[in-house]
Amino acid sequence: MTAGDVPERMQAAAFDEFGGPEVITLRTLPVPQIADDEILLKVWSAGVGVWDAGAREGKLVPEGAAFPMVPGAEAAGTVAAVGRRVTNVAEGDLVYVYGYTRPKGGFYAEYAATKAEYVAKLPAGVPAEHAGAMPTDALTALSGLDALGLSAGAWVLIFGASGGQGHLAVQLAKRQGLNVIAVASGAEGVTLVTRLGADLSLDGHGDLTEVLARIREVTPDGVDGVLAMAGGATLDRLAEALRDGGLLAYPNGVQPAPRERPGVTVQAYDGETGPERLQRLNELIEAGPFQVHVAETFPLGRAAEAHRRLQTSFPGRLLLAVR
């Protein structure tokens, strides 16, 4: 490891007990030391997601994490130092990361240690200032599309299309040659997914009988797959648009879990990472401009406020600007 200009201590948002957003406070903590297979990331921005709230509440605690606990599963920044066995990135590289395990703390901090296998160079087309909000949802959306396994020219219905994972799934699906029906939240959501290239954009808050009629106009035989970012009664109605033999895929954690129906396969999936997944994601992203829609940005010292904002509805993602 080369020390460079890395300080011994850093600012981080952390908590000493599980609880509500108020437990997160700005702290001064030691900069983590890295192992031979890790990098030290100089964090520019970190995504704020429901999984971070789960960690704060004690429901989704990363393996090996200890108090004071620094949340944050994803970030973008520059490589400040590399371990001896690291070959995929070098000091100074602009990178993004989804830290699947993070025993040395998460990314709500000026510096973070993470395994190099979770790190990839930031591809062309992604604005660096928004990249911290991309990794978890982009990798999970890719896993969802893989679970559906649709061929180019097939029709996919994405429910929750204007959300964090949904709006990235719309873009990744189009890059795979799929026809996309995007069911979004409200007029703002419909505008967003239309701009991102959806073939048919519909408001899930509208009259569902009318929504289903519009879907049947473009897919008389039914859609080939449904990617569901949310559950509930609206999804149950939308699932009627699936053709016989179609597949409904949803990320683990969606509540209530989608119902099994005759003639339809229902499959849960998780976001996966690793060198091959990151390379494939980058190749898809580099096919054209890729938008990470950030609804609101907070400074590191207002992480608790960002967690309160998580409890409301908004298109896209929330972001912490660390630097």
**What are the pLDDT digits (tens) for 273-321?**
999 999 999 999 999 889 999 999 999 999 999 999 999 999 999 999 9
**CA nearest to 279, candidates 82, 68, 88:** 88
Listed residue (117, 120, 28) closest to 75, CA to CA: 120
Query: Cβ distance 193 to 161 under 8 Å?
Result: yes
CA 302 to chain centre: 21
Domain positions in the chain are 9-134+292-321, 136-269
Q: 265 pLDDT exceeds 90?
A: yes
The mean pLDDT of 144-170, rounded to a whole number, is 98
CATH class of 136-269: alpha beta
**Per CATH, which fold does 9-134+292-321 belong to?**
Quinone Oxidoreductase; Chain A, domain 1 (3.90.180)
pLDDT of residue 149 exceeding 70, the answer is yes
At 166-196, the pLDDT tens digits run 999 999 999 999 999 999 999 999 999 999 9
Asked whether 47 and 319 are in contact (CB, 8 A), the reply is yes
Phi and psi, residue 86, nearest 5°: -85, 125
Contacts of 172 by beta carbon, 8 Å cutoff, 6+ apart: 138, 141, 142, 145, 284
Sign of the CA dihedral running 207, 208, 211, 216: negative
The pTM of the full predicted model, rounded to 2 decimals, is 0.95
